[in-house]
Amino acid sequence: DVVRDVIRKKGWVEVDEEADWQLCWTDTSVGLERLLKLKKTQKINHFSGMLEICRKKSLCRNISNMSKKCSEEYNFVPRSFLLPEGLDDLLAYLGTKNRRGKKPTTLILKPDNGCQGKGIRLLQTCKDVHNAMEYCEGTKAVVQTYLHRPFLINELKFDLRVYALVTSCDPLRIFLYDEGLVRFCTEKYQAPRQDNLNIACMHLTNYAVNKHNVNFEADNSTSDSLEGSKWSLNSLKEWMEANGQDWDNSTSD
């Protein structure tokens, strides 16, 4: 527990909420009423309204609104649908894209408040959509175009976990940590098709999904390494520079 390790190293004392505390660390959202009751010496690790960016549907809706005002800055956002209200639009989109003779379009569905890869499904047909909705039992979800030609390392998909500290919203003040994690899939990537859509360890980089795969490689060394199913950002930088990739240009974008 990193937070408790810091508490011990700082010589602080952990108390219950009824005590006269200075710092509150919570994993739940914080209401405005609670924030208004804070004393001048008290700090809490959440801003009111954080669910607007922490829930997938709200984040998608807010990004969509921003992209209408600043289209060039948000041109990286894939085509998105909010479920269940956007179900008809999604089915119509698939019907247009997947006309006979055309290569199927692949979409990815993520439950609104899901985590650790739970409930994520890849979709190519209207039947896939209906099956996913039945599986999710009508849960709110976001569906987006799946990037079917990702950048691979050792034939594996990967993603980046970057850590940012937001200390103020107005003015906006963000500190970006110079290290992070690179998380790899544990099955070699193949372009999505009906017979591999459900191979989670090929398409999803979540640690909670891949740690159970026999191909998962734990690297317990304390130094940067190019081994294992998790790398540091510095290891990725080393790999990219050794393989002719422009690290500085990639990170500046």
- Cis preceding linkage at 78, omega within 30: no
Predicted local confidence at residue 138, as pLDDT? 64
Q: Work out whether the CA dihedral 27, 28, 29, 30 comes out positive or negative.
A: negative
Q: What are the φ and ψ backbone dihedral angles of 110, each rounded to 5 degrees?
A: -130, 125
Q: How far is CA 210 from CA 28, 115, 185, 196, in A?
A: 26, 14, 6, 16
Q: Residues 211-220: what's their mean pLDDT?
A: 88
Q: Is the pLDDT of residue 241 over 80?
A: yes
Average model confidence (pLDDT) across the chain: 89
Predicted local confidence at residue 59, as pLDDT? 92
Q: Residues 70-98: what's their mean pLDDT?
A: 90
DSSP 156: B
Predicted local confidence at residue 107, as pLDDT? 95
DSSP 117: T
Q: Residues 189-206: what's their mean pLDDT?
A: 95
Partners of 162 in beta bridges: 180
Predicted local confidence at residue 1, as pLDDT? 78
Closest CA to 158 of 139, 137, 184: 184
DSSP string, 118-134: TT-EEE-SHHHHHHHHH
Predicted local confidence at residue 106, as pLDDT? 95
Predicted local confidence at residue 2, as pLDDT? 86
What confidence tens digit (pLDDT) does each residue in 48-66 have? 888 888 889 999 999 999 9
From CA 164, how far away is CA 175, in angstroms rounded?
6
